[in-house]
Amino acid sequence: MASYVLSSRQAYASVPAQPLQQMSLMFTADEIADARAIIHEAMPPTPQYAWPLLKAELGAETWVKHENHTPTGAFKVRGGLVHMRKRAERGETNGVITATRGNHGQSIPYAASRNGMTSTIVVPHGNSVEKNAAIKALGAELIETGADFDEARITCMQMAQERGLDMVPSFHRELVLGVSTYAHELFEAAGELDAVYVPIGMGSGCCGVISARDHLGLKTRVIAVVSENANCYKLSVEAGRPVETNSADTFADGMAVRVPHPDALEIISKGVDEILEVSDDQVADAIRLYYRATHNVAEGAGAAPLAGLMAQRDVMAGKRVGVILCGGNIDTGKMATVLDGNTPAP
């Protein structure tokens, strides 16, 4: 394989940036309705429940948005379905390639196959064994390269050019449009919540919640959650500019990002009310609480919002709060480690 030496900063610079005014996430009612129709061809709305044992544990009415109940076990499938349908409608039916730690990499082949396209998924070495298996089961070509997501993404961009494939980014307006539908479902069912906790990986889920809140004119606080070991978005918001980190060592692989996406960062900087860091130990505690209180399985990023609420239970006591269980795709060995009372290694 060729040697890829492009830096993370150069990799983003090599792709023409959409002007921020074109990246506006104030979607129209027609766009939202169309996205929901596309998604509901493949899956019903996911449930949202206010679990009694969570309220007893945390002192807050806690609504869980169950994105672990999608056909791929995570929220990303919504964005994939919308983006790939729009590609097909525009005649962009060439094969696609994308980089991922797993959930985005399942959503794209799932949606690509529904629209008659092939897909290639690039993941870093050491990626989740079970997520890799799911990607291949969906018919994608799987390529492992690089030490982490950001290195895999750089390779992916170069391979797109070499192979003549269309690069699907991890953050795109149509991806955010798709994933924003889960927030619309949550707010329609639960009403105006005092706060919603949502994790940040590359940012589409968080931006989707911001978009839905603003579209509906709600006053709900959006509290974004990052890993203390993968906190580039928090550092970037505080600095007022993109800040890269040297590593992203967390078992919550959906949040293991070193380089913030500039468009996502712009939207998150303006739209979130707070960015909260959580440790891997706190995430493991939240996975155990989810299993004990709801008998649902959560992956690391999926449990991070609940970990954030657990850390702020005194502040949120007596309030109505939403937490996004964005995915349940945790490897069996890691889940066993968590249920045994320990924290998995990154």
pLDDT in tens, 32-41: 999 999 999 9
Q: Which of 306, 202, 315, 307 is nearest to 257 (CA)?
A: 202
- What's the pLDDT band for 249 if we cut at 50, 70, 90? very high
pLDDT at 183: 98
By the 10 Å C-beta count (0-12 exposed, 13-18 middle, 19+ buried), 332 is classed as: exposed
Condensed to tens digits (0 to 9), the pLDDT of residues 188-246 reads 999 999 999 999 999 999 999 999 999 999 999 999 999 999 999 999 999 999 999 98
Q: Which domains does the chain have, with CATH numbers?
A: 29-75+173-339 (3.40.50.1100), 76-167 (3.40.50.1100)
Q: What average pLDDT does the segment 56-85 reach?
A: 98
pLDDT reading at 324 higher than 50: yes
For 186, other C-beta atoms within 10 Å of its C-beta total: 27
Contact, 47 vs 325, CB < 8 A?
no
Contact, 330 vs 300, CB < 8 A?
yes
Phi then psi for residue 300, to 5 deg, are -55, -55
Choose the weakest-confidence range: 22-26, 140-144, 175-179: 22-26
Q: What average pLDDT does the segment 249-273 reach?
A: 95
More confident residue, 172 or 10: 172
Condensed to tens digits (0 to 9), the pLDDT of residues 284-315 reads 999 999 999 999 999 999 999 999 999 999 99
pLDDT at 12: 39
Q: What average pLDDT does the segment 155-170 reach?
A: 94
Q: What average pLDDT does the segment 130-158 reach?
A: 94
pLDDT reading at 18 higher than 80: no
pLDDT reading at 85 higher than 60: yes
pLDDT at 4: 27
Helix, strand or coil, per DSSP, at residue 111: helix
Whole-number mean pLDDT of the chain? 92
pLDDT reading at 69 higher than 70: yes
pLDDT at 11: 37
Choose the weakest-confidence range: 2-11, 106-115, 166-175, 179-188: 2-11
Q: Which of 230, 288, 257, 227 is nearest to 103 (CA)?
A: 257
The span from the CA of 58 to the CA of 218, in Å, is: 24
CA dihedral 171, 215, 23, 165 (to 10 degrees): 40
- What's the pLDDT band for 150 if we cut at 50, 70, 90? confident
- Beta bridge pairs of residue 79: none
- What's the pLDDT band for 149 if we cut at 50, 70, 90? confident
* DSSP H or E run through 153: helix 149-163
Q: Angle 76-89/173-190 helices, nearest 10 degrees?
A: 130
Phi then psi for residue 213, to 5 deg, are -55, -50
Q: Which of 288, 224, 290 is nearest to 260 (CA)?
A: 224
pLDDT at 19: 37
pLDDT reading at 134 higher than 80: yes
- What's the pLDDT band for 3 if we cut at 50, 70, 90? very low
Secondary structure of 180-238 in HEC code, one letter for each residue:
HHHHHHHHHHHCCCCEEEEECCCCHHHHHHHHHHHHHCCCCEEEEEEECCECHHHHHHH
- What's the pLDDT band for 5 if we cut at 50, 70, 90? very low
Q: What average pLDDT does the segment 98-115 reach?
A: 94
Q: What average pLDDT does the segment 104-112 reach?
A: 96
Pairing state between β 61-66 and 320-325: parallel
pLDDT at 92: 94
State how far Cα 30 lies from the chain centre: 24
Phi then psi for residue 264, to 5 deg, are -60, -40
Sheet holding 166-167, edge to edge: 141-144, 119-123, 96-99, 166-167
pLDDT at 23: 63
